[in-house]
């Protein structure tokens, strides 16, 4: 049956902000779904609160609602748009849960909206642990011994049956949030309490531990005619016990015979049929006993997932696109396999390479968090690599992570002698730590055998033997130095060794190794990812590198004779560099392809839209290192004209290799790397500012502790202090007293002549402003000025911001514009530039300039309607600003960007914000006034502001005056104010009614008790200085754990009050981006 004609409009729900467990992969799936269904002629209504996504680009859907994804708001959109159908399987758990809620509360029935892709019964059966288990029993598939419970007492009873160690999994939570492995009864009780609270239905599964078992995942696609295909099998290198999202995984499964593989295949298809997933993609996870092959079904997701994205990138099969088409009536055999162009989508991809995925962690951002992996996902991103052997793909994946690894880099191990050594090492590798693979490699170097490591870690010996081959090759290089014969050198490269790792092992420089390699004529060749292991010819240039030695090897890159531009992507997601940069890169591909250039993308992040084979003309799935990128550039230069390389859109990643790329003789498009470096280099930058006569907070550069003290005395406390060359505010701190400075210099950084620290006078209570501008070398266009809500001192990525600014005078805005233009000219910017200012008492201070794409570019584009990233790419390729039409009229709406934080994943970490960035993603709230826009941004970030109840206030002395009007307003709206002693006195003295409540240290009942007994619906808490922060820690933890909205800054509190006021006046309305900006210029 071809497409359904009985429906004409379809709503797609996105996944909302990037959070741990739900990242760019849902932009990839949602964007594919939008494209696939639009080309079928359906009217698409999209809901997603995340402005940094490609899917929320105004030309991806007919009506795009950047609105909070809550059942209430989506219901309003449904009421307004009256879609015929709702596709809930593209936006992760968020979309699925929202759709289910809309089904349960009758909205879908009321407005006659049909759920397509997954029916409510199927969603329930897959998501509800007890129903799922029953379903598995009915088809004869074994589940782990388990009990589902809804309260603490039943949990304790279940423990008797299941026994320790036990796995606890809450129902309906993302990425296994709130779950974990309990080894003793105390741990068990803690995890159970957390899990019951975090599960929206207060339900947890208590399950037999399968620690050490093998773990597999099958990606299945099914059509309405019951045709089922397996897209890919995935094997976890980490055995059971570590969340799949946190595991190193390979595709396809490598340690199964055909009989065992087919048993999993049969089982996964049976699961889809039993659960009733009529159409679309799903994954089924299995655990297999390494002793006897016993198979246990773990879970299934009746939707497109993170592993679907991985499977799509690993095989070239576009799961989300096909799933979307199946949802509107197509059968698999009616759809084409775009990659080969000659075969149908109804087949099973077969691959002739090995794919390795390694997660990327950010524990260092959350001091106090335990760096242990468990069944609750902690990673913030991942890198994927492709090679013709596991060793090659593993080493490529390691260097793709950009965590400083250039292979299985050595790490310090505990010291011990003789027999103690092995025992010590056993203990060291036994924990499920994020760096476990490096520990295993190090343990091998130090004498542990494969067998001993297997006994300790349960990692399959197949993988350990491959790692051992790498370590043996390292030992050989270490012993004998750089091989001078081609065959040996080649064999080393084919194991995936980077030139820089070889250099370390041979005690040479990377440049020497590269030169020696090229001298011997050893270069990578490129193979195609074609879904069919070369059985059919493929025109799709989806490529990866490998080393093939013998005569007869074929390079399949086939560079074209066109004029080409290479765009370097952003690599794995991390805090500080995420989807915003991928958005910019994707736009560059779109814009430059439209302008007639051949676009070539290099990236290694499988979650993204940029690594879709049809985003660019050619895609190289490669690590973003100097060696790997330059190899591609050499290959591509052999035909046609390489116009240049774009490095300013992928965040820090491409910038780090820009100089090497330029030195290798390849042109960099846009702003010169030298200008970019000038902006990063403190001393050069200061000279420029002096020349331009721009004001900076007083500052200095300290190369020693003494210098730091002297500078601090000179500029005056408080100061912001940070190491030079940092990302995302790493190790940056605001220091209020000398003793803190000493502690910082002692504990946080190693200062030396070559590692100076930067010290800036900290402007207290200043307003921070972000500006994004476009420049073609002559003309400057101010694309957006954003006023931060949180005061200066909080990382710009963590601060909420308003566009257009609400509290800045015309004079200040003019100064900001002038200074931005002056900087753009001085740096000869071609492309994008981001400037950060602080405004205090009408004075404008320059904080930072980054002549490159910034995190706020997509937000600015969405809020203003100007395709900023696309235009930037065109400018870099030679176009002029005058070539483009821009919207310049003042906006009649207000857009607020709010950051989203992963604190609930890291229990025990304080939620206070500072100069070190901690947010994983962002949402946008848009409406006609600030209050409502802010309210929406909060709702979208899952902060439900109360409209009545009690507010708890505890603020530092310096903020007491500022809180009087805030509390007066709250009180006037009918809120009861509860405050600590000092705050109560200050409020009462100003005539604001407030009731005193004990601080925690003042005895019970205290504020935390009140919060725990649901007496408090909003918390406003500021504190300064280590003791006060420590004392108030439990307040913030309690608020976080019990989902009580909290604000930790004056300005945030003020904004919240404005939002409550607006929302009390009238309920929140909904409006599409297309309606906000009806006159968006057409770029093409």
Partner 1 sequence: MPDAVYDVKTLTPFSPPSAATAILLLEDGTAFYGMGFGAETTNVGEICFNTSMTGYQEIMTDPSYAGQIITFTFPHIGNTGTNGDDVETLRPAALGMIVRNDVTPPSNWRQDSHLHSWLAQHNLPGISGIDTRALTRTIRDKGAPKGVLCHRADGQFDLPALQKLIADWPGLKGMDLASVVSTKKDFTWSTGSFDLEKNSAPDRKQGLRVVAMDFGCKQNILRCLVDAGCVVDVVSASASADDILARQPDGIFLANGPGDPAATAEFAVPEIKKLIDSNVPIFGICIGHQLLALAMGGSTSKMARGHRGANHPVRDLTTGQIEITSQNHGFCVDPGSLPENVEITHISLFDGSVEGLRHKDKPVFCVQYHPESSPGPHDSRHLFQRFVEMMKANNA
Give, as ranges, the residues between 441 and 480 that touch partner 1 (CB under 8 A).
444-450, 460-462, 465-466, 468-469, 471-476, 478-479
Q: Between 21 and 524, name the residue whose CB sits nearer to partner 1.
A: 524
- Minimum distance between the CB of residue 467 and partner 1, rounded to whole angstroms? 10
Please, are residues 254 and 390 in contact by the beta-carbon 8 Å criterion?
A: yes
Which is it for the CA torsion 54, 59, 65, 67, positive or negative? Answer: positive
Task: Name the residue nearer to partner 1 (CB basis): 61 or 230.
Answer: 230
The 411-440 site mask, x for binding partner 1 (CB under 8 A), equals xxx---------------------------
Residues 600-659 that bind partner 1 (CB under 8 A): none
Our CB check for partner 1 shows the closer of 130 and 263 to be 263
CB of 549 or CB of 699, closer to partner 1: 549
Q: Given the complex with partner 1, which of 533 and 811 has the nearer CB atom? A: 533
Q: Which is nearer to partner 1, 532 or 668 (CB)?
A: 532
Q: From its phi and psi, is residue 650 left (phi > 0), alpha (psi between -120 and 50) or beta?
A: alpha
| Minimum CB–partner distance for residue 418 and partner 1 (Å) | 12
E strand or H helix that includes residue 872: helix 868-876
3-class secondary structure, 875? helix
- Cβ of residue 558: shortest distance to partner 1, in angstroms? 12
Its sign, for the CA torsion 887, 891, 893, 894, is positive
450 vs 891, beta carbon nearer partner 1: 450
Q: What is the x/- site pattern for partner 1, positions 275-314, by CB under 8 A?
A: --------------xxxxxx--------------------
**Residues contacting 494, CB < 8 A, separation 6+:** 388, 389, 392, 546, 547, 548, 549
Minimum gap (Å) between residue 412 Cβ and partner 1: 5
- For residue 36, the tally of other CB atoms under 10 A from its CB is 23
Please pick, from the candidates 124, 255, 928, 971, the single residue that binds partner 1 as defined by CB under 8 A.
255
- Nearest approach, Cβ of 40 to partner 1 (angstroms)? 21
How near is the Cβ of 406 to partner 1 at its closest, in Å?
A: 11
Site for partner 1 in 538-557 (CB under 8 A): 548-554
Which of 252/902 has CB closer to partner 1? 252
The answer to the question of residue 710 lying near partner 1 (CB under 8 A) is no
Among 424, 488, 686, 1024, the residue binding partner 1 under the rule CB under 8 A is 488
Q: Which is nearer to partner 1, 29 or 625 (CB)?
A: 625
346 binds partner 1 (CB under 8 A): yes
> For residue 934, which of 747, 755, 1063 has the smallest C-alpha distance?
1063
Residue numbers 493-512 binding partner 1 by CB under 8 A: 504-505
How far is it, in rounded angstroms, from Cα 926 to Cα 464? 52
Q: What is the DSSP letter of 328?
A: T
* Minimum distance of partner 1 from residue 471's CB (angstroms): 6
- Residue 261 in the binding site for partner 1 (CB under 8 A): yes
Size of the site for partner 1 (CB under 8 A): 91
Q: What gap in Å lies between CA 926 and CA 771, rounded to an integer? A: 19
Instruction: Provide, rounded to whole angstroms, the least separation between the CB of residue 117 and partner 1.
Output: 20
CB closer to partner 1 out of 438 and 978: 438
Restricted to residues 374-393, the positions that interact with partner 1 (CB under 8 A) are 388-390
Nearer to partner 1 (CB atom), residue 190 or residue 343: 343
In whole angstroms, the minimum distance from the beta carbon of 768 to partner 1 comes to: 38
Interacting residues with partner 1 between 899 and 918 (CB under 8 A): none
- Quote the Cα angle for 909-914-915, to 5°: 125
**Residue 226 binds partner 1, judged by CB under 8 A:** yes
Least distance between partner 1 and beta carbon 820 (Å): 42
d(Cα 1072, Cα 1056) in Å, to the nearest integer?
24
CA dist 596 and 610 (Å) reads 18
Candidates 483, 654, 700, 935; binder of partner 1 (CB under 8 A) is: 483
Q: Which of residues 233-252 bind partner 1 (CB under 8 A)?
A: 252
Rounded distance, CA 574 to CA 918, Å?
A: 10
Taking the least distance from each CB to partner 1, the nearer of 388 and 1061 is 388
Instruction: Tell me the helices (H) and strands (E) count for the chain, helix number first.
Output: 37, 38
172 part of the interface to partner 1, by CB under 8 A: no
- By beta-carbon proximity to partner 1, the closer residue of 351 and 766 is 351
- Rounded CA-CA distance 417/907 in Å is 37
Long-range contacts, 130-136 (Cβ 8 Å, 24+): 132/275, 132/299, 132/300, 135/271, 135/274, 135/275, 136/271, 136/274, 136/297
Q: Is residue 750 close enough to count as binding partner 1 by CB under 8 A?
A: no
Minimum distance, C-beta of residue 438 to partner 1, in the bound complex (Å): 12
Closer Cβ to partner 1, 1 or 1026, answer by number: 1
Q: How far is the CB of 405 from partner 1 (least distance, A)?
A: 11
CB of 550 to partner 1, least distance (A): 5
Instruction: Looking at 172-285, list the stretches that DSSP marks H as alpha helix, in order from N- to C-terminal side.
Output: 185-198, 258-275
Given candidates 109, 137, 535, 764, which one binds partner 1 under the rule CB under 8 A? 535
Contacts of residue 652, Cβ cutoff 8 Å, sequence gap at least 6: 577, 727
Residue with smaller CB distance to partner 1, 333 or 957? 333
Q: CA torsion sign, 867 to 869 to 875 to 877?
A: negative
Nearer to partner 1, 255 or 1024 (CB): 255
Complex with partner 1: residue 471 or 964, whichever CB lies closer: 471
Closer Cβ to partner 1, 551 or 882, answer by number? 551
Residue 226 CA, distance from chain mean position: 35
Query: Taking CB under 8 A as the criterion, which residues in 509-528 touch partner 1?
Result: 527
Q: Identify residues 186-225 at the interface with partner 1 (CB under 8 A).
A: 225
How many residues does this entry show for the chain?
1084
Cα distance between residue 310 and residue 355, in whole Å:
9
> 824 preceded by cis ω (within 30°)?
no
Q: Does 491 bind partner 1 (CB under 8 A)?
A: yes
Shortest Cβ 548–partner 1 spacing (Å): 4
Cis peptide before 566 (omega within 30 of 0): no
According to CB under 8 A, which one of 348, 594, 677, 779 is a site residue for partner 1? 348
Distances (CA, A) of 810 to 50, 782, 791, 806, 1055: 30, 15, 20, 11, 21
The residues pairing with 642 across neighbouring beta strands, listed in sequence order, are 564
What's the closest the beta carbon of residue 710 comes to partner 1, in angstroms? 33
**DSSP per residue over 641-687, as a string?**
EEEEEE-SSSTHHHHHHHHHHHHTTPPBPSS-HHHHHHHH-HHHHHH
By CB under 8 A, residue 755 contacts partner 1? no
| Minimum CB distance to partner 1, residue 327 (Å) | 18
The closest of 772, 754, 916 to 858, measured between CA atoms, is 772
Distance CA 687, CA 664 (A): 29
Query: For residue 264, with 0-12 CB atoms within 10 Å meaning exposed, 13-18 middle and 19 or more buried, which class applies?
Result: buried
Residue 567 burial (10 A CB sphere; 0-12, 13-18, 19+): buried
Name which of residues 74 to 133 contact partner 1 (CB under 8 A).
none
Q: How many CB atoms lie within 10 A of CB 221?
A: 27
Name the minimum Å distance from CB 490 to partner 1: 8
Return the range that interacts with partner 1 (CB under 8 A); candidates 260-268, 771-779, 826-834, 1024-1032.
260-268
Judged by CB under 8 A, the residue of 18, 99, 532, 844 near partner 1 is 532
Which residues are registered as beta bridge partners of 978?
952, 995
């Amino acid at each position: 049956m071809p497409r359904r004609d009985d429906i004409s409009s379809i709503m797609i729900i996105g996944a909302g902000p990037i959070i741990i467990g739900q990242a760019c992969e849902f932009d990839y799936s949602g964007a594919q779904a939008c494209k696939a269904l639009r080309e079928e002629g359906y009217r698409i209504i999209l809901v997603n609160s995340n402005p940094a996504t490609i899917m929320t680009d105004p030309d991806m859907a007919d009506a795009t609602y950047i609105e909070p994804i809550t059942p209430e708001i989506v219901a309003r959109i449904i009421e307004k748009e009256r879609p015929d159908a709702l596709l809930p399987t593209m936006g992760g758990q968020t979309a699925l849960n929202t759709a289910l809620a809309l089904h349960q509360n009758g909205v879908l029935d009321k407005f006659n909206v049909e759920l397509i892709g997954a029916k409510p019964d199927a969603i329930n059966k897959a998501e509800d642990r007890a129903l799922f288990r029953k379903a598995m029993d009915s088809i004869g598939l074994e589940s782990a011994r388990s009990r589902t419970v809804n309260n603490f007492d039943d949990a304790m009873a279940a423990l008797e049956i299941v026994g320790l160690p036990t796995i606890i999994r809450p129902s309906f939570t993302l990425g296994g949030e709130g779950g974990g492995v309990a080894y003793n009864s105390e741990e068990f009780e803690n995890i159970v309490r957390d899990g019951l609270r975090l599960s929206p239905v207060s339900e947890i599964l208590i399950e037999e531990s399968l620690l050490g078992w093998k773990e597999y995942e099958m990606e299945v696609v099914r059509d309405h005619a019951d045709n089922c295909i397996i897209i890919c099998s995935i094997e976890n290198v980490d055995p059971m016990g570590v969340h799949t999202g946190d595991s190193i995984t390979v595709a396809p499964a490598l340690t199964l015979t055909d009989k065992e593989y087919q048993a999993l295949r049969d089982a996964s298809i049976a699961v889809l049929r039993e659960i009733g997933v009529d159409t679309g993609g799903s994954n089924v996870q299995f655990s297999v006993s390494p002793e006897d092959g016993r198979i246990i079904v773990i879970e299934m997701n009746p939707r497109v997932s993170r592993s679907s994205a991985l499977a799509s990138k690993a095989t070239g099969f576009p799961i989300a696109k096909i799933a979307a088409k199946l949802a509107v009536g197509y059968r698999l055999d009616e759809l084409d396999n775009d990659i080969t162009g000659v075969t149908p989508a109804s087949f099973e991809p077969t691959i002739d390479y090995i794919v390795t995925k390694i997660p990327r962690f950010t524990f260092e951002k959350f001091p106090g968090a335990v760096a242990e992996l468990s069944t609750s996902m902690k990673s913030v991103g991942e890198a994927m690599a492709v090679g013709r052997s596991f060793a090659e793909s593993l080493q490529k994946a390691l260097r793709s992570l950009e965590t400083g690894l250039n292979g299985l880099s050595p790490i310090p191990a505990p010291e011990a002698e003789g027999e103690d050594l092995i025992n010590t090492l056993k203990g060291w590798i036994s924990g499920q730590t994020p760096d476990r693979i490096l520990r295993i490699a190090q343990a091998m170097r130090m004498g542990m055998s494969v067998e001993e490591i297997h006994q300790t870690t349960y990692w399959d010996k197949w993988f350990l033997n491959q790692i051992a081959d790498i370590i043996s090759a390292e030992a050989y290089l270490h012993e004998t130095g750089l091989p001078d014969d081609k065959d040996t050198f080649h064999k080393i490269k084919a194991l995936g060794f980077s030139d820089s790792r070889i250099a370390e092992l041979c005690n040479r420089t990377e440049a020497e190794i590269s030169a020696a390699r090229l001298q011997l004529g050893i270069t990578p060749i490129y193979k195609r990812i074609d879904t069919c292991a070369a059985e059919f010819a493929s025109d799709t240039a989806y490529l990866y590198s490998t080393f093939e030695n013998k005569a007869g090897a074929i390079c399949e890159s086939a560079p074209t004779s066109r004029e080409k531009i290479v765009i370097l992507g952003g690599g794995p997601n991390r805090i500080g560099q995420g989807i915003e940069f991928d958005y910019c890169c994707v736009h560059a591909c779109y814009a430059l392809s439209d302008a007639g250039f051949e676009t070539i993308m290099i990236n290694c992040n499988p979650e993204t839209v940029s690594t879709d084979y049809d985003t660019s003309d050619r895609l190289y799935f490669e690590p973003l290192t100097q060696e790997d990128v330059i190899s591609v550039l050499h290959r591509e230069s052999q035909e046609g004209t390489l116009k240049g390389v774009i490095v300013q859109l992928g965040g820090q990643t491409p910038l780090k290799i820009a100089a090497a790329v330029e030195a290798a003789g390849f042109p960099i498009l846009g702003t010169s790397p030298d200008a970019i470096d000038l902006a990063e280099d403190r001393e050069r930058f200061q000279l420029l500012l002096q020349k331009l006569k721009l004001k900076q907070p007083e500052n200095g550069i300290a190369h020693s502790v003494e210098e730091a003290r002297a500078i601090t005395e000179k500029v005056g406390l408080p100061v912001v202090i940070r190491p030079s060359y940092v990302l995302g505010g790493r190790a940056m701190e605001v220091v209020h007293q000398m003793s803190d400075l000493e502690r910082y210099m002692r504990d946080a950084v190693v200062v030396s002549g070559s590692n100076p620290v930067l010290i800036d006078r900290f402007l207290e209570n200043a307003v921070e402003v972000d500006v994004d501008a476009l420049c073609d070398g002559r003309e400057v266009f101010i694309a957006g000025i954003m006023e931060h809500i949180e005061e200066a001192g909080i990382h710009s990525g963590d601060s909420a911001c308003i566009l257009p600014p609400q509290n800045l005078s015309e004079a200040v805005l003019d100064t900001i514009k002038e200074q931005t233009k002056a900087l753009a000219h001085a740096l000869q910017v071609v492309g994008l530039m981001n400037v950060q200012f602080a405004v205090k008492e009408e004075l404008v201070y320059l904080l930072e300039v980054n002549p490159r794409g910034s995190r706020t570019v997509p937000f600015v584009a969405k809020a203003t309607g100007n395709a900023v990233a696309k235009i930037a790419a065109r400018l870099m390729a030679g176009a002029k600003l005058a070539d483009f039409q821009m919207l310049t009229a003042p906006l009649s709406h207000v857009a607020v960007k709010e950051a989203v934080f992963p604190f609930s994943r890291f229990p025990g970490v304080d939620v206070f914000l500072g100069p070190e960035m901690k947010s994983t993603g962002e949402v946008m709230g848009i409406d006609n006034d600030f209050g409502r826009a802010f309210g929406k941004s909060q709702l979208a970030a899952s902060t439900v502001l109360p409209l009545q109840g009690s507010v708890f206030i505890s603020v530092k002395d310096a903020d007491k005056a500022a809180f009087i009007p805030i509390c007066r307003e709250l009180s006037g709206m009918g809120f009861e104010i509860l405050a600590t002693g000092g705050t109560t006195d200050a409020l009462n003295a100003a005539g604001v009614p407030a009731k005193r409540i004990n601080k925690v240290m003042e005895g019970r009942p205290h504020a935390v008790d009140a919060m725990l007994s649901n007496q408090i619906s909003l918390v406003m808490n500021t504190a300064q200085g280590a003791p006060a922060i420590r004392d108030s820690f439990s307040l913030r933890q309690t608020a976080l754990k019990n989902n009580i909205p909290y604000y930790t800054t004056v300005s945030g509190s003020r904004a919240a009050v404005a939002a409550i006021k607006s929302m009390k006046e009238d309920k929140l309305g909904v409006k599409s981006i297309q309606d906000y900006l009806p006159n968006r210029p057409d770029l093409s």
